[in-house]
Chains A and B, each alone.
Chain A
Amino acid sequence: MTSLPRNAGPVKLGLVIDLDICVGCHACAVNCKEWNTSGHSAPLTDSDPYGADPSGVWFNRIHTFEVVNEAGDSRTVHFPKSCLHCEEAPCVTVCPTGASYKRQEDGIVLVNAEACIGCKLCSWACPYGAREYDEDVGVMKKCTLCVDKIYNENLDPRSRAPACVSTCPAGARHFGDLGDPQSEVSLLVAARGGYELMPEQECKPVNRYLPPRPKRQTPAVDSGAALQPATPEGEAAGLLARWVDRVLSR
């Protein structure tokens, strides 16, 4: 059923991404591809991977933006983006077959590959570009929030987090229940002013982004006399230097 769950449970699993910390290394995207190509929506097909025009299915993409403030100071912001597991997921309601669905128990949005007809309408309905079509298999694929990892009892409890979160070397990604206001991720969002992307699209995404912290205001450095060019007349140059200068200038 592609209608959204009528009695959505209190649990809203999602990601919190810290734009202040992300260094843009793409490790999350690579580990996502590695885990998921043999996971719930496997395979994440590549076409022409070693040729001139490679393309393929990825659930996670890292964009890099430049933000220029009014003073003209710019900063670079690395911006990872994957499915935001929206509460009002338009990709779910537009699906004509019921292949696209949102789980009642934890809010994860998934695709049933057995029922997908590959009409691509869900990818048109998603404002975030979270869905990617697998040309080879003929069905739509998307981030599963590593549903096959986060509940996997064969794994060490510390590893039961999405691949992108487990692998982030900078600690820029957090995973948890955003439906619980006392969860670690919710407290983090509250403390840092975490926000949702494109609220005007009214999809109510679950994932939150933590804004880059304001830049530290470092005082302008006076480069001092040491860095000024030595001039024979200037007081900076000593007696010996002035003599050498005069001798060599002849």
Chain B
Amino acid sequence: MHPAKSVILFTTASGAGYGLLAWLGLLAAFGVLPSERWFGLAAFALGLGLVVTGLLSSTLHLGHPERAWRALTQWRSSWLSREGVAAVVTFLPVGLFAFYWIVDGTNSDTLAVVGLLASLCCLVTVICTAMIYASLRTIRAWASPWTLPSYLVLSALSGAVLLNLLLQLWGLPHNGAFAWMAAALFILAGLVKVLYWRNVMYGEPAGTAESATGLGPQGRVRLLEAPHSESSYLMQEMGFRIARKHAEKLRRLTLLGGFLAPFVLIVVGQAAPGLGSLLAALASLPLLAAGLAVERWLFFAEAKHVVTLYYGESRA
């Protein structure tokens, strides 16, 4: 599949934003959210900024962005519509949460409830984002049971890395414990992605040239002549091939550079709380961001659509 930059930015940025907001809400629900005002403002600005950047970016690849509001109407059948509705609804509890935490700052019971609610809404939105892809039977790599866990764990991880950095910057209590949480998520993310990629590599094909043409009973099928001599929309959108050639290298790059290296940094940083853990948290962010960019690019680029079976592929 064609890896559109706007969709890569949409899924990674909104995933990180919702991850961060969900962690904040969860900390509030457990009553361990620091009541530091500037920390709260920074965390919200970052979380909401990422979410809004992601959502706006997702409208960039539309043919008619001005009609985007229409996408909120078909939630009964469409995961894309559900994602839109969930994203809009989530602003409400997140806004209330921000109000009770930063502006009001007194009522801890209400804060816990709206925090939990905001956290749940973020979770639902990320689930909807993942299901847009996981519900497409035409793309075997995405229809895998590991697509949803991948999106969830990567959203939680990127949120945790951001929150860890903020906690370290402000030198707030519990920052040591949260650093360990971020470290653990790096390992979990690596594990889930390995399982996702194993399915991409070894899973049963969704179709073959024989099943696509229905000519299997007559023999082996191969494309003799394409329907058109020049490229077409279908070939540009679904026929992206470059990634599969480098997939193995890019997977290793993601695992080692994007997950393992920041994991080691954060664990080592814990040996020197204060400056050490702060530097580790700072360094882990660009490493994860680069790793996620590669991971998401690969998610799209290496996914093979069954329509390619009509254009010369033998399995998809």
Binding site for B on A (CB under 8 A): 1-4, 19, 24, 29, 53-55, 57-58, 61-70, 74-77, 79, 81, 90, 92-99, 115-121, 123-129, 132-135, 137-140, 195-198, 200-202, 209, 211-212
- Complex A-B: 27 CB contacts under 8 Å: A3-B74, A19-B215, A53-B231, A58-B228, A58-B232, A63-B223, A65-B221, A67-B221, A77-B215, A79-B310, A92-B77, A97-B74, A98-B74, A115-B67, A117-B63, A117-B71, A119-B80, A121-B132, A123-B238, A127-B207, A127-B306, A133-B233, A133-B237, A137-B63, A139-B64, A200-B211, A201-B138
Which residues of B sit under 8 angstroms from A126, Cβ to Cβ?
Answer: 138, 307
> B70 an interface residue at 8 Å Cβ cutoff?
yes
Distance, CA A30 to CA B84, complexed state (A): 39
The count of residues in chain B whose C-beta lies closer than 8 Å to any C-beta of chain A is 58
Chain B residues lying within 8 Å of A79, measured Cβ to Cβ, are 213, 310
Does B89 touch A at the CB level, under 8 Å?
A: no
Is B1 a contact of A124 with CB atoms below 8 Å?
Answer: yes
Which of B72, B233, B238 has the most C-beta atoms of chain A within 10 angstroms of its own C-beta? Answer: B233
State whether B233 touches A55 (Cβ < 8 A): yes
Q: How far is the CA of A206 from the CA of B294 in the complex (A)?
A: 41
Q: Is the interface of B mostly helix, strand, loop or mixed?
A: mixed
* Residues of the A chain whose Cβ atoms lie less than 8 Å from the Cβ of B227: 29, 61-64, 81
Interface residues of B in 189-235 (CB under 8 A from A): 206-207, 209, 211-215, 217-228, 230-234
Q: Do A97 and B211 have beta carbons less than 8 Å apart?
A: no
What 0/1 pattern do residues 134 to 164 of B give for CB contact below 8 A with A? Answer: 0111110000000000000000000000000
Q: Which residues of A contact B137 (CB under 8 A)?
A: 90, 127, 201-202
Determine if A127 and B63 form an interchain contact, defined as CB atoms under 8 angstroms apart.
no
CB pair A77 B213 closer than 8 Å: yes
The reply on B62 being an interface residue by CB < 8 A is yes
Question: Judging by beta carbons under 8 Å apart, are A96 and B80 in contact?
Answer: yes
